[in-house]
Amino acid sequence: MVAASDRIRVAVAGASGYMGAELLRLLLVHPRVTLTGVTSERLAGEPLGRVYPHLRGLTELTLHDLDATWLAQVADVVFLALPHMESQRAVPVLRAAGRKVIDLSADYRLRDAQDYVTWYKAPHIDPAGLGEAVYGLPELHRKAIAGSALIASPGCYAAGTILATAPLVKNGLARLDSIVVDGKSGVTGAGAQGRKVDPMYLYTEANENVQAYALASHRHTAEMDQELSALAGSPVKVTFTPHLVPLNRGLFTTASVPLATTLTTADLSRVYREFYAGEPFVRVGGEAERPATRHVVGSNYCDVAVVADPRTGRAVCVSAIDNLGKGGSANGVQCLNILFGWHERTGLDAAPVYP
């Protein structure tokens, strides 16, 4: 047991959303941290146990207004689970105070400031922070994460896609001209929308229904292109289509990747096992094993598998993650562990929830 005086003080801004709620669930039982502050613009003044009855008895904290100066006073590390384009207002204040930041929004994921105008329709107001930030996917950027004070946790669709395809792209086994990705996410992927609920997320619309959305325009596509291009050393433009499926949480990715050479399923599986050897949260399935969202819910795991399609000369790559886990909050906690040199599984070693 680590003494309270030796623990790191951690705060969560945007604690009333789904990402925030999952962060609280993980951080409140993390053996190396003490949760010292939580904020919510919608619910400031409310006791956390009243907002989230599942956390009763674990904390006496009350939600505070979003105030970056106050957050810097009460915490050593601040998780930001804010709406897109809001974190960049808080980060300069936190960084000026010497605080470390793990951002779960999109505000620091893209390296080119112009991409924010293209994909988020607004200019980025913290170019210095953007230049400093590290893309927080440990399987690709572990060393950089360990030395960073500003970490941008990936988008959920981007995490699923990158982990499904990275071994092929990095090893030069993929042709880069026509990677096609299909993603399916549970309803929590849209976040807790408060009073402004898009009708597609209503129970009567989402239940027993599958809907494609953001056709040829989903914002996570920019992350996929950026990270896969860096792995390949050449430009990659992914064709990506997201779908909403009637799940609370879970995200499934199918990527069709043209191969640069003829490979069997056994060959491809060997490449994946070697690429992810030693990774604590990526589980590569055998030829007869297929990932499923049910097997990762409530965890930081990403289950992947790959199959060769000799008829088309393509590889079919699949991955399953929890969009609030490896696609968000749990991945952020993994980055926290790396940042402080703790074992990466610290606070994340519980098995997925089943059924």
Is the pLDDT assigned to residue 166 strictly greater than 70? yes
* Residue 193: per-residue pLDDT: 47
**pLDDT per residue as tens digits for the range 149-160:** 999 999 999 999
d(CA 13, CA 340): 20
* Fold topology of 157-321: Dihydrodipicolinate Reductase; domain 2 (3.30.360)
* Residue 148: per-residue pLDDT: 97
Q: What value does the mean pLDDT take over residues 89-93?
A: 98
**pLDDT per residue as tens digits for the range 252-280:** 999 999 999 999 999 999 999 999 999 99
Q: Does domain 7-153+328-339 have CATH number 3.40.50.720?
A: yes
- Predicted structure pTM score: 0.95
- Residue of 156, 302, 317, 335 marked catalytic: 156
Q: What value does the mean pLDDT take over residues 274-291?
A: 94
Mean pLDDT (the chain, rounded): 95
pLDDT tier, 245 (very low <50, low <70, confident <90, very high otherwise): very high
- Token output for 147: 């030395």
Question: Per-domain residue ranges for the chain?
Answer: 7-153+328-339, 157-321
Is the pLDDT assigned to residue 195 strictly greater than 50? no
pLDDT tier, 206 (very low <50, low <70, confident <90, very high otherwise): confident
pLDDT tier, 192 (very low <50, low <70, confident <90, very high otherwise): low
d(CA 343, CA 171): 28
- Told to judge if 156 belongs to the known catalytic residues of this protein, a careful annotator would answer yes
